[in-house]
Amino acid sequence: MPLIDERRADIPRGRILYDAAQLRKADETLFSLEAWAAKGAAERLIGGRGSIALLEDEGARWALRHYRRGGMIAKLSQDRYLWLGENRTRSFMEFRLLAELRRLGLPVPKPIAARYERHGLTYSADLMTEWIADTETLAKALLSGHMNERSWHEVGRTIAAFHAAGVDHADLNANNILLRTHNPADAAGDAVYILDFDRGRLRARGSWEQQVLARLRRSLEKISAGAGRAVDESHWRQLLEGYDQGDRRTADGGR
């Protein structure tokens, strides 16, 4: 995949990191929902802690996410993080991790731009990535009955490819796994993407891989319970079969 042409732009209280291959320039209006709405380009907002907006500009579609805290600490601060230096801001770290994962050929959205704004000893942050069209989340596919054996295998193989590259996803769940939907009969219809690498990292392979799978299993259990049913064990076995196939293929050098 093409490399990211990383550039920086200064703003009054911080800095923007962006891909010059995707953007001609970057300024504060890039991250202003008000400015996008005024142009009629803020197509819709998606609820949840991530505060994601879908934007459109000259045919390009982007997802803009404002970083928000979860859990108990959100009662103290919804979107402020301790300042530890520019290169340790969540937005810059995720932008660069996505760029590296793209370089490795892994299925993640292109990073477009990242921003941080200083607020004394804290900062707030935003990230813009490409919007991957013709997809639905694993959570939605599970509830709508769109998953089949091949789909579960593909999810497992994709996760195995990330683990083979040493990618530790900090919160792999059914809402940040995307599946192609535009043509289920086509082999490309089952292509899988993984999103949201906030706090993700590259590391040596180890027991953390099983912890990631266990977290995904809990996510599927929670979604199924909310729909009044139990997780279908055959589905989880199919995912693990795909994972093992992908892991063996990596060990055999991709053959």
- Residues assigned a catalytic role: 171
In the Cβ-directed half-sphere of 57, how many Cα atoms lie within 13 Å? 20
Looking at residue 96, the DSSP 8-state letter turns out to be: H
Please state, in angstroms and rounded to a whole number, the distance separating the CA atoms of residues 247 and 165: 11
First-to-last C-alpha distance (Å) of the chain? 21
Report the candidate in 198, 210, 201, 202 with the shortest Cα–Cα distance to residue 247. Answer: 210
Q: Mind giving me the DSSP string for 179-207?
A: EE-S-TTSGGGG-EEE---TT-EE---ST
Phi, psi (degrees; rounded to nearest 5) at 82: -65, 130
Phi, psi (degrees; rounded to nearest 5) at 232: -75, 115
Please state, in angstroms and rounded to a whole number, the distance separating the CA atoms of residues 158 and 154: 6
